[in-house]
Amino acid sequence: MGALKAAVGLVLLFFVAVALTLVVGVRNAGIVDVWQAFFAFDASDPTHAVIRSVRAPRLIAGLIAGAGLGMAGTVMQAVTRNPLADPGLLGVNAGAAFAVVVGALVTGYADSGMMAALAFPGAAIASIAVFLVGGARSGAGSPVRLTLAGVAINALLLSLVSAIILSRNETLEIFRFWVTGSLAQANARPLEAMFIALVVGAGISAVIAPRIEALALGSTLARGLGTKPGAVQLSALAAITLMTGAAVAVAGPIAFVGLVVPPLARRIGRHVLRRELVVSAILGGSMILLADTVGRLVVAPAEIRVGIMTALVGAPAFIFVVRRLKPGALT
Helix 56-80 vs helix 191-215: crossing angle, to nearest 10: 20
Q: Determine the pLDDT at residue 26.
A: 74
Convert the pLDDT of each residue in 43-53 to its tens digit.
888 888 888 88
* pLDDT tier for residue 284 given thresholds of 50, 70 and 90: very high
Long-range own/partner contacts, residues 9-12 (CB < 8 A, 24 or more apart): 10/268, 10/279, 10/282, 10/283, 11/282
CA distance 30 to 50: 13
Q: How far is CA 102 from CA 93, 152, 250, in A?
A: 14, 20, 16
pLDDT band at residue 138 under the 50/70/90 scheme: low
pLDDT-based confidence at residue 287 (cuts at 50, 70, 90): very high
Angstrom CA distances, 43 to 53, 114, 184, 188, 260, stand at 11, 31, 22, 20, 41
Is 179's pLDDT higher than 80? no
**pLDDT of amino acid 172:** 59
pLDDT higher than threshold 70 for residue 32? yes
Q: Tell me, what DSSP letter sits at residue 41?
A: -
Q: In this predicted structure, what is the pLDDT of residue 313?
A: 76
Q: Domain 11-323 falls in which CATH fold?
A: ABC transporter involved in vitamin B12 uptake, BtuC (1.10.3470)
What Cα–Cα distance (Å) separates residue 63 from each residue in 12, 60, 277, 330? 15, 5, 14, 32
pLDDT of 289 higher than 80: yes
User: Chain-wide mean pLDDT for the chain?
Assistant: 81
Q: Which of 102-116, 120-134, 274-288 has the lowest mean pLDDT?
A: 102-116
Percentage of the chain with pLDDT > 70? 82
30-43: average pLDDT? 86
Q: Maximum Cα–Cα distance for the chain, whole Å? A: 66
Choose among 309, 307, 285, 283: nearest CA to 295: 309
For residues 60 and 212, the answer to whether their CB atoms sit within 8 Å is no
Report the alpha-carbon distance of residue 249 to residue 111 in Å, rounded.
13
Please say if the pLDDT value at position 296 is more than 80: yes
- 209 falls in which pLDDT band (50, 70, 90)? very high
